[in-house]
Amino acid sequence: MGLRKLKPITPGQRFKVVTDFDVVTTDKPEKSLLAPIKRSGGRNSEGKMTMRFLGGGHKRRYRVIDFKRNKDGVPATVKSIEYDPNRTAYIALLNYVDGEKRYVVAQNGLKVGQEVMSGEKVTPEIGNTMLLSNIPLGTVISCIELRPGQGAVIARSAGTFAQLMAREGKYATIKLPSGEIRMILLTCKATIGVVSNSDHQLTVSGKAGRSRWLGRRPRTRPVAMNPVDHPMGGGEGRASGGHPRSKNGIPAKGFKTRSKTKASNKQIVERRKK
């Protein structure tokens, strides 16, 4: 995977940096694994705006991803590595020996023609999904379950990974991408390797229009609003806006919002770094 810095032949290309998509092998998705997406524009079921600055964007179709990897003991071959407009990582199309096709989140180094598998009697190789009880200590993992059978919820975006630190009793100790060290049940599954498209964070969009293509509308600075619209609005002239906070008045920058009585607090060994 590499990056391409474009020549400044237009204002929008002057600072533009894009991935070269050398890993992607096809631009035609598997039709049987596509589903429609109904766009909300940030409105809820009553038509009320609950998320600001969303709307528009290019039409997309959802790729049905297998986050559970519950087809244990059945080998599959990687048919293609594809771009997915709904996530930052690339996805891989798996062809199982019984004829079934499934999409999974692709890991760095996953190649077309490679055989991957999930289950208990599986070797810890890139793209294979195993129980945390069977993965060697120190292994770099991604697409981790938080509850057995739930499906992957941790370390799914481009370039993310976690590390299996230790095992004790019925729990595994894992260092998460945020730096948090947390205990997860050994009966949860995880995939070996780092999530693909590691260069995603180094890309530069180059122009405001690309944000519109992605469905992101212009964001108004709270300081530029009126007092009726935001706690940081108002004031004579260019007022700074006071302490940074959300529209609901919740302070930002260091204010802890996690409940002190949350049941899973006892499973967090070390909090994430500030």
Question: Domain for residue 215, yes or no?
Answer: no
Q: Please give the pLDDT value at position 1.
A: 65
Residues of the chain with pLDDT under 70: 1, 274
pLDDT at position 234 is 93
Examine residue 130 and state whether it is found in any structural domain, yes or no: yes
Q: What is the pLDDT of residue 236?
A: 92
Query: What's the structural domain count of the chain?
Result: 1
Q: Is residue 250 part of a domain?
A: no
Q: Which residues contact 147 (CB under 8 A, 6 or more apart)?
A: 185, 188
- Residue 264's φ and ψ, nearest 5 degrees, are -85, 0
For 253-269, b where at least 16 C-beta lie within 10 A, e where not — what string?
A: eeeeeeeeeeeeeeeee
> Does a structural domain hold residue 155?
yes
Residue 115 lies in a domain: yes
Domain-embedded: residue 193 = yes
> Which CATH number belongs to the domain containing residue 112 in this structure?
2.40.50.140
Whole-angstrom distance between the N-terminal and C-terminal Cα of the chain?
Answer: 31
Q: Are the CB atoms for 110 and 93 separated by under 8 Å?
A: no
Q: What is the pLDDT of residue 121?
A: 85
Query: Could you tell me the residue range of the domain that residue 22 belongs to?
Result: 3-201+260-270
Residue 67 covered by a domain: yes
The CB density around residue 193, as the number of other CB atoms within 10 Å, is: 22
pLDDT at 273: 79
Distance of alpha carbon 79 from alpha carbon 166, whole angstroms: 35
In angstroms, the CA 137 to CA 149 distance is 22
Q: What HEC string does the chain produce?
A: CCEEECCCCCHHHCCCEEECCCCCCCCCCCHHHEEECCCCCCECCCCCECCCCECCCCCCEEECECCCCCCCCCCEEEEEEECCCCCCCCEEEEEECCCCEEEEECECCCCCCCEECECCCCCCCCCCEEECCCCCCCCEEECEECCCCCCEEECCCCCCCEEEEEEECCEEEEECCCCCEEEEECCCEEEECCECCHHHHHCECCCHHHHHHCCECCCCCHHHCCCCCCCCCCCCCCCCCCCCECCCCCECCCCCCCCCCCHHHHHEEECCCC
Confidence (pLDDT) at 208: 95
Which distant-in-sequence residues (6+ apart) come within 8 Å of 165 by Cβ? 137, 138, 172, 173, 174, 175, 181
Q: Is the dihedral of CA 157, 160, 164, 165 positive or negative?
A: negative
Q: Is residue 68 part of a domain?
A: yes
